[in-house]
Amino acid sequence: MHKNKPLILITNDDGINAPGIRNLISVMNECGEVWVVAPDKGQSAMGHAITVNSTLHIEEINSGDEPQKEFSCSGTPADCVKIAISELLPRTPDLCVSGINHGSNSAINVIYSGTMSAAIEAGMEGVASIGFSLLDYSDNANFEHCKPFVKKIVQNTLENGLPNGVILNVNIPKLPYDEIKGVKICRQAKATWEEEFDKRIDPRGRTYFWLTGKFVNLDKGEDTDEWALENSYVSIVPVQYDLTAYHAIQELNSWDND
């Protein structure tokens, strides 16, 4: 069955009505049998949050003539993947794709990203999984040039599988298709956010804050996702959920631990 018609789970963190996921659905309908389980509202910057202290609601959506099945979910992106695989889909999917996110998830942003947490959740459940993001935050971003890259990367993944415990983090420049030079396999750039809190006073005289910040790339390497994106390439970073810093074990063993 897999070889004829792979079962593809689609989710995202911008919500089921976001243009990014609608574009992803239309490409994936060319690649397999599509089931969509996505948040009923925007869930950006949710990281790997899951809903343990409240209930989850699922609603099946009638998407008209289109072939895919669709469900909206009251939970986080990671919740969507859990409930899709455990309750909704007819069998374990052959692939999970998350996105296309409105905005970059390169470098350290992978840690905050709901798009990537959904993809990682699927990976943790043994499903080949990819998160896609476009470097354009706007609601009316143009996703047309993303489609050939998404399709190629999905086809490669379905054909070759992914190494155990590995998820792909794909970022796509905001450029016309003809200006994109190709695809690069990268490492996550060592970049950081310099926080700035915008401090304000509310109408009742109380202080509150908006989190803002400046993204700073401290990494001059030419093998990073930031370098690829700045140089007009699509970046693919293989991501893992084994967070062990193996290189640090020896040093910590030299401590007086007892």
Interactions with a second copy, residue window 11-40 (CB under 8 A): none
Write down the least CB distance from residue 65 to a second copy, Å.
Answer: 27
Strands 58-61 and 7-11: unpaired
Site for a second copy in 111-130 (CB under 8 A): 111-112, 117, 120, 124-125
Confirm or reject binding of residue 56 to a second copy (CB under 8 A): yes
Counting contacts by CB under 8 A, is residue 183 touching a second copy?
yes
Question: What is d(CA 122, CA 130) in angstroms, rounded to the nearest whole number?
Answer: 9
The interface with a second copy within residues 65-84 (CB under 8 A) comprises 78-79, 82-83
Q: Note whether 210 binds a second copy by CB under 8 A.
A: yes
Burial 94-117 (b: 16+ CB within 10 A, else e): bbbbbbbbbbbbbbbbbebbbbbb
Amino acid at 143: F
Shorter beta-carbon distance to a second copy: residue 17 or 29: 17
- Residue 232 to residue 173: CA distance in whole angstroms: 6
Q: Which of 19, 49, 158, 215 binds a second copy (CB under 8 A)?
A: 49
Interface with a second copy, residue 4, by CB under 8 A: no
Told to check if 251 binds a second copy by CB under 8 A, we report yes
> For a second copy, how many residues bind (rule: CB under 8 A)?
79
* Number of other CB atoms surrounding residue 121 within 10 Å: 27
Report whether 85 contacts 127 (CB < 8 A).
Answer: yes
50 binds a second copy (CB under 8 A): yes
Give the 3-state secondary structure of residue 198. Answer: strand
Question: Of these, 64, 67, 90, 163, which contacts a second copy (CB under 8 A)?
Answer: 163
Comparing CB distances to a second copy, the nearer of 25 and 40 is: 40
In contact, 73 and 39? CB cutoff 8 Å: yes
Looking at the Cβ atoms of 25 and 121, the one nearer to a second copy is 121
Which range touches a second copy (CB under 8 A), out of 22-30, 89-97, 139-147, 241-249?
Answer: 241-249
> How large is the angle between the packed helices 146-160 and 19-28, nearest 10 degrees?
50
